[in-house]
């Protein structure tokens, strides 16, 4: 092997601490930051990395994996005998078709574009199908390729300035729909490409609702990229909140709802930073917006409305690592009021995280089973759900291990 070649880490295996250090530095994360994310000190991180402390127990290993956002547990442990995907996986079977539609230029496509009203009706049906289907990624994966091609064609063939703006608004929303499919898929570059195209199309449309939706999803993409991107998430959120403020007095409910959803995004990012006062203050603002919407209002993209406020409170408490408070919020928030199956399943996962933080593993497993019943696709691709299930497969209680193992089989972590 050449002297300057990169060694094969599996031929001369790296210790757990060395892998942790490699992954930490690759993400540009300090020891203080990693320690804070897993409830340890910077000194503990240093001692693990230099081998003075032994490999920690499974719950801590999974917490480190979550903080470092590794997609495959063997990246951290070095054990290739057990492949355990965490925040991604091999990819949905429809991912190649969606990616091909996003990447295609289709400059030779000269067929007449579908009318704008036809595209909007298809888009509305796609959102409805996503909210109603337990296998929502399968449904979206089947609809998106043709919808992406037709929406781009309509934007390219628009004749007047007004028609072009209208077509760009539809295209931005199609890209927003695509982001729901691409979340937690093993192609981060494709997700960012779609997010950026959605924002460009939204700005071209000059439509405040389209701009708000694109910002809502872009802020999430920044936040999920890690602590180094929290400032970018805040910048997008606050800039678009300022922009939308002028449309609120006479604007439609959908603009008010996206404004409320962005207030919650600001709360979510603040909670990730550990800024409790700011997080709950922004949540209060989201509540104030929701209370000015009709009681049964449900935003078709963000799920924002009065029914979602309890779920948002659980998320804030969980991200602040407030075990007792998150469990209280989880017990108070009623999931059945949320009309969207995937959003209801996501709320159940957040409730499970709350019970897990509060050291109530039986409640956490039972709630994850409810999430799986609501929308298996949501649980199957969610790293937090996988972490809890994996941890409980090594629980001291035989009954809890059996329950966790059954759930692990259901969501594809283990084979029967």
CATH superfamily of the 16-77 domain: lambda repressor-like DNA-binding domains (1.10.260.40)
Backbone angles phi, psi at 91, to 5 degrees: 100, 145
Domain layout of the chain by residue ranges: 16-77
* 208 burial level (CB within 10 Å; 0-12, 13-18, 19+): buried
- What's the pLDDT score for residue 86? 61
Measure the CA angle with vertex 214, ends 28 and 142; round to 5°. Answer: 100
Distances (CA, A) of 1 to 4, 7, 8, 191: 8, 9, 10, 37
Token pair of 85 as six digits: 């995907």
CA distance 117 to 297: 23
CA distance 309 to 348: 14
Q: Is the per-residue pLDDT at 323 higher than 80?
A: yes
Please state the rounded mean pLDDT for residues 313-317: 97
Residue with tokens 């990246």: 75
Q: Which of 209, 208, 211 is nearest to 200 (CA)?
A: 211
Task: Answer with the residue of higher pLDDT: 351 or 39.
Answer: 351
User: Looking at residue 307, what DSSP letter applies?
Assistant: G
Q: How many CB atoms lie within 10 A of CB 277?
A: 8
Q: Is the per-residue pLDDT at 2 higher than 60?
A: no
pLDDT tens, position by position, 31-90: 988 888 788 899 999 999 999 999 998 888 888 887 887 767 788 888 765 556 665 556
Q: How many CB atoms lie within 10 A of CB 115?
A: 10
- What's the pLDDT score for residue 11? 47
Token pair of 410 as six digits: 């259901």
Give the model's confidence band at 22: pLDDT under 50 very low, under 70 low, under 90 confident, else very high. confident
Q: Is the per-residue pLDDT at 275 higher than 70?
A: yes
Return the beta strands (E) in 123-277 as ranges: none
Q: Is the per-residue pLDDT at 150 higher than 70?
A: yes
Q: Which of 61, 9, 10 is nearest to 34 (CA)?
A: 61
Least confident of 11-20, 53-62, 110-119: 11-20
User: Looking at residue 113, what DSSP letter applies?
Assistant: P
Residue with tokens 């692990």: 408
Distances (CA, A) of 361 to 349, 352, 393, 396: 13, 8, 11, 11
Q: Provide CB contacts within 8 A for 193, sequence distance 6+.
A: 102
Give the DSSP H/E element, type plus range, for residue 401. Answer: helix 398-410
**206 Ramachandran zone, left/alpha/beta (phi>0; psi -120 to 50):** left
Q: What is the pTM of this model?
A: 0.82
């Amino acid at each position: 092997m050449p002297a300057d070649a990169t060694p094969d880490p599996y031929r001369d295996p790296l210790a757990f601490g060395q892998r942790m250090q490699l992954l930490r530095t690759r993400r540009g994360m300090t020891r203080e930051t990693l320690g804070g994310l897993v409830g340890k000190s910077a000194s503990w991180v240093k001692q693990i990395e230099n081998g003075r402390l032994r490999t920690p127990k499974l719950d801590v290993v999974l917490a480190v994996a979550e903080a470092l956002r590794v997609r495959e547990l063997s990246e951290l442990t070095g054990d290739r005998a057990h492949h355990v995907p965490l925040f991604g996986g091999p990819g949905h079977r429809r991912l190649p078709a969606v990616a091909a539609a996003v990447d295609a230029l289709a400059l030779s496509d000269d067929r007449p574009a579908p009318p704008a009203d036809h595209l909007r009706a298809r888009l509305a049906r796609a959102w409805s199908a996503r909210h109603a289907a337990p296998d929502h990624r399968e449904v979206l994966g089947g609809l998106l390729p043709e919808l992406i091609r037709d929406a781009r064609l309509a934007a390219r063939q628009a004749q007047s300035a007004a028609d072009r703006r209208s077509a760009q608004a539809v295209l931005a929303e199609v890209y927003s729909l695509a982001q729901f499919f691409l979340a937690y898929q093993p192609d981060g570059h494709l997700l960012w490409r779609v997010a950026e195209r959605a924002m460009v199309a939204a700005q071209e449309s000059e439509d405040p609702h389209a701009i708000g939706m694109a910002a809502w999803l872009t802020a999430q993409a920044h936040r999920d990229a890690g602590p180094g991107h929290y400032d970018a998430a805040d910048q997008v959120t606050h800039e678009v909140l300022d922009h939308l403020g002028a449309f609120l007095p006479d604007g439609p409910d959908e603009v008010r709802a996206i404004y409320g959803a962005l207030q919650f995004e600001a709360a979510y990012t603040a909670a990730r930073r550990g800024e409790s006062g700011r997080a709950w203050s922004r949540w209060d603002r989201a509540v104030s917006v929701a209370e000015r919407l009709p009681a049964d209002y449900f935003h078709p993209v963000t799920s924002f409305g009065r029914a979602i406020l309890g779920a948002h409170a659980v998320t804030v408490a969980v991200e602040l690592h407030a075990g007792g408070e998150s469990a209280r919020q989880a017990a108070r928030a009623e999931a059945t009021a949320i009309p969207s199956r995937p959003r209801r399943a996501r709320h159940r996962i957040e409730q499970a995280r709350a019970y897990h933080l509060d050291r109530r593993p039986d409640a956490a497993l039972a709630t994850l089973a409810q999430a799986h019943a609501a929308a298996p696709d949501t649980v199957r691709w969610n790293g937090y759900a996988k972490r809890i299930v994996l941890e409980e497969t090594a629980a001291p209680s035989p009954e809890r291990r059996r329950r966790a193992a059954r759930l692990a089989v259901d969501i594809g972590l283990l084979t029967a």
